[in-house]
Structure 1
Amino acid sequence: MKNEFIITVYTENHIGLLTRITVIFTRRKINIESLTVSESAIPGIFKFTIVINETKAQVTKVVGQIEKQIDVLKAFFHTNEEMIYQEIALYKVPIEPIYESDTIESIVRNAGARILEITKDYVVIEKTGHKKDTQALFEQLNEFKVMQFIRSGRVALTRDPIERLSEFLKERDAFLNSLD
């Protein structure tokens, strides 16, 4: 049975690595639902956060293939319950409905969103939350003809108090030092 999984990949920052990682998914005909790349808490190490819907067996195989890539230090996969995650969404709506009633203002407040910018032509609204929350706000605002909409990829941290990459790196360094 397919479920949503979050794959985290820790790498060095090298050109072409993103392509090599995405090819692994393409070859297996797995659609990437969300992809975010940023620096991690460890200097010089970058973190890919990839969301897919797949079976656990397939995710295990994909993570194994990712780890075989040069420049990949370690890859893990988690369920949504094992992670704390958010996305950010921006909505640009015309300004006229705001002048005509307080409906948009009420929608923004009830959604826990905030207004980022107001111009003579439009207002930009920001919402942070899970995909279902940002999508629900889009649907409400789209009654007023959303001009532009964008949702970021997922950003996620494990609920586990121990940073598994740090533990992996300590073990690797201890092993390498024992060889000297």
Structure 2
Amino acid sequence: MKEKITLTLFCEKEATLISKIALIFTRKKLQIDHFLVDFCEDTSLYKISIGYWDDETNSKTIVAILERIIEIFCCYTQNQKELETHQILLFKIPIIHKKQITRFPISYLFQEKEHWICCGKIANEHFYTLQNTLTQSTLQFN
């Protein structure tokens, strides 16, 4: 059964990125409901959110294709229920605080000087705990 899926990915600027994503969706015969692009100057990363109708198993295939073809940093899918209970976020933490977040489902993307750039798909209750734990972190997107 088809449901609305929101795909969120983080990547660096690439001249043909939007056309590559559209081509992947066209080949899979998926109609894009919405396509939002946001830029973070601190990290020089783009956050792209794509809404479309599909089933959960096909969404995993789409994620695998996107990760392989356009070399994105990370990619997450959410159905309508997860949109209410989870957040996709990108944040910057001082390296000295890295041990404080090991219990959260966080991916380390890269290190720049004295900070880690991290992202994750976190349940709302864990997000607030993480936010209180990391008072010196900088939330880039959510």
- TM-score clears 0.5: yes
**What's the TM-score once normalised by structure 2's chain length?**
0.60
How large is the Cα RMSD of the aligned pairs? 2.5
| Cα gap change, 1:68 to 1:42, in 2 (>3 Å) | farther
Residue 37 of structure 1: aligned partner: 37
Q: 1:43-73: per-residue Cα shift (whole Å, max 9, x none)?
A: 2110110001001111111111011124411
Structure with the bigger percentage of strand: 2
Q: Partner letter of residue 169 of structure 1?
A: Y
Larger radius of gyration: 1
Percent identity, aligned pairs only, is 21
Give the counterpart letter for 1:168 in structure 2. S
Provide closer, same or farther for how the CA distance between residues 71 and 64 of structure 1 changes in structure 2, counting only shifts above 3 A. closer
Task: Give the length in aligned residue pairs.
Answer: 98
Q: CA deviation at 1:168?
A: 1.7
Counterparts in 2 of 1:98-137, with a 5 A limit?
none
1:168 aligns with 2:95: no
1:68 is matched with which residue? 68
| Structure 1 segments (4+ residues) deviating >4 Å | none
In 1, the alpha carbon distance for the partners of 2:40 and 2:60 equals 23
Q: What's the offset of the Cα at 1:165?
A: 7.9
**Alignment partners' CA distance in 1, 2:41 and 2:5:** 22
Decide whether aligned partners of structure 1 residues 20 and 165 sit closer, same or farther in structure 2, where only a CA change above 3 A counts: farther
Q: 1:79 to 1:168 in 2, by over 3 A?
A: same
Counterpart check, 1:57 vs 2:57: yes
Secondary structure, in 3 states, of the residue corresponding to 1:68? helix
Structure 1 residues 3 and 165: alpha-carbon distance in aligned structure 2, compared to 1, 3 A threshold: farther
Deviations 1:2-44 (A, max 9, x none): 0001000111011001111111101010000110001148621
Amino acid at match of 1:2: K
Cα distance, 1:57–1:42 mapped onto 2, change above 3 Å: farther
Contact 2:20 2:70 in 1 (8 A): no
- Report what 1:3 is aligned to: 3
**For residue 57 of structure 1, what is the amino acid of its counterpart?**
T
- Cα 1:57–1:41 shift into 2, 3 Å: farther
Unpaired segments of 5 or more residues in structure 1? 85-157, 174-180
Distance (whole Å) between structure 2 residues aligned to residue 7 and residue 42 of structure 1: 23
CA distance in 2, matches of 1:75, 1:165: 15
Per the TM alignment, residue 169 of structure 1 is displaced from its structure 2 partner at its CA by: 2.3
